[in-house]
Amino acid sequence: MERIERTAIRNLIHNEPYCRKVLPFIKEEYFTDRLEKVLFTEIYKFVNKYNNLPTKESLSIEINGNKSINEDEYKQVTDILSTLNPEPVNLEWLVETTEKFCKDRSIHNAVLNGIQIIDGKDKNHTPEYLPELLSNALSVSFDQKVGHDYLLESKERYEYYNRKEERLELDLEFFNKITRGGIPSKTLNICLAGTGVGKTMFMTHLASSVLLQGKNVLYITLEMAEERIAERIDANLLNVGMSDLEELPYKMYETKINKLQSKTTGTLIIKEYPTATAHTGHFKNLISELALKKSFKPDIVFIDYLNICTSSRFKSGANVNSYTMIKAIAEELRGLAVEHDIPIFSATQTTRGGFVSSDVGLEDTSESFGLPATADFMFALISSEELEEKNQIMVKQLKNRYNDPTVNRKFILGVDRSKMRFYDVEQNAQNDLVDSGQETLSSNDKFKKLGQFSDFKV
């Protein structure tokens, strides 16, 4: 019975539809027989160079010029070539069988390479590379999608228009309005604010609300200790002021935690990295480790915060300007979101001018305008003495790929800083916002309008 390796090589020479479908995914390392490996390599080189299938004669000539094989091996290869005649075969079956072969060989090779790493024979990798090695092996597949055919796939496109996209709903009404029902996967979402205004508070609030939905949350911090982030989430979820947490008897604290566990099926993991030392490579390894060790797959990732990450493309201390560095970090984080099919939330600082501005714009993003160019959704948190007195904060949309950013451009949220919590306020609180794009209010609003704001800080 002919082995799949030999069948694959036969059809790579004679079966053009098969060759076009599978050649981009097959690797030389999948072949165990040296001569079959030589044949595959010459086929691959020929197709890539001439965009056509090689004949047996052209392969024989190319192999004859290969200095890595001797005369006996050349004779054996030509004998193999003489047996590779075209034969009828079911294309679908052959592609599926080849894909299974590639997956099996990939996993087999990963296990062998892992043993080499554990034994110390691989000097280029440490055992920390093992989760990524196995993850890459398990993810091998033949992606047959090569683009959207505008005319032939109109039905699929229409179904896409009418399909309800899965979004992660938030517990703040206005955020669900401006995002058309929540945050989609594969997106990068950025909160812009100045020091002390509430970037971390906003992200810990969202992390808490998503956890209560039964979702898995990964919170990566490069600014505060893991315990400090957990403290803010405790205040939010346990309904206890930050200053009261340390006074809370352990028995009562334990009771509240147990009650919280009964309310959600989700998991929240908080991971701390030293400032300016971690990049998407570390985050990928963390996600892989959590999948292997805890069977944990995040539904959303928070990174606190983007500007104090580093880039996986530029070495630490490299002579790179801030625009390029921050843009690279943003692109890598968005790539991570796409790769793992999750939304990512992060934050950034305002410039000094933006800190005292009453109308923050994208131009007030510190260090790099490349960040708002990359983000899918970006908004500013704006505070003032008047708003602080009312326990409120203003949100301004800066960029929105999910909806029209001119609708509800500005809106007010309530804030309870002692419990690290945001909440919806009455609609009348939105009335006096200038150039806010607020939707028409209902006629039964009963509360006084909020006064004009001055002396803003972000």
User: Residue 222 maps to which CATH number?
Assistant: 3.40.50.300
Residues 272 and 373 placed together within one structural domain of the fold: yes
**CATH code assigned at 32:** 1.10.860
Reading the block at residue 427, the tokens are 């609609």
Q: Tell me, what's the pLDDT at 375? A: 93
Q: For residue 190, with 0-12 CB atoms within 10 Å meaning exposed, 13-18 middle and 19 or more buried, which class applies?
A: buried
Whether residue 276 is found in the same domain as residue 388: yes
The verdict on residue 262 lying in a domain is yes
Measure the CA–CA gap between 112 and 336, rounded to whole angstroms.
28
Final residue of a structural domain among 112, 139, 157: 112
Residue 453: pLDDT band (50, 70, 90) is very low
Q: How many domains does the chain have?
A: 2
Does a structural domain hold residue 129?
A: no
The pLDDT, as a whole number, for residue 359 is 64
Q: What are phi and psi of 136, to 5 degrees?
A: -60, -40
pLDDT of residue 441: 41
User: Quick check: is 226 in a domain?
Assistant: yes
Instruction: Pick the range with the lowest mean pLDDT from 161-165, 292-296, 336-340.
Output: 161-165
What's the pTM value of the predicted model, to 2 decimals? 0.66
Range of 78's domain?
4-112
Lowest mean pLDDT among 207-221, 331-345, 385-399, 424-438: 424-438
Between the two ends of the chain, the Cα-to-Cα distance in Å is: 72
Residue 351 half-sphere exposure, CB side, CA atoms within 13 Å? 14
241-272 pLDDT per residue, tens: 998 998 899 999 999 999 999 999 999 999 99
Residue 361 and residue 255 share a domain: yes
- pLDDT-derived band at 214, boundaries 50, 70, 90: very high
300 pLDDT tier (thresholds 50, 70, 90): very high
User: Six-digit token pair at 80?
Assistant: 């193999």
Answer positive or negative: Cα dihedral of 38, 40, 41, 46: positive
Q: Does one domain contain both 238 and 105?
A: no
- Residue 124: predicted pLDDT: 84
Residue 282: Cβ-neighbour burial (10 angstroms; 0-12, 13-18, 19+): middle
Instruction: Inform me whether the pLDDT recorded for 449 exceeds 50.
Output: no
pLDDT value of position 446: 36
Q: Are residues 193 and 288 in the same domain?
A: yes
pLDDT band at 134 (very low <50, low <70, confident <90, very high): confident
Do 415 and 286 lie in a common domain?
Answer: yes
Q: Do 68 and 184 belong to one domain?
A: no
Q: Say whether both 83 and 223 belong to one domain.
A: no
Q: State the pLDDT confidence band at 316, using cuts at 50, 70 and 90.
A: low
User: Where does residue 310 rank: exposed (0-12), middle (13-18), buried (19+ CB within 10 A)?
Assistant: buried
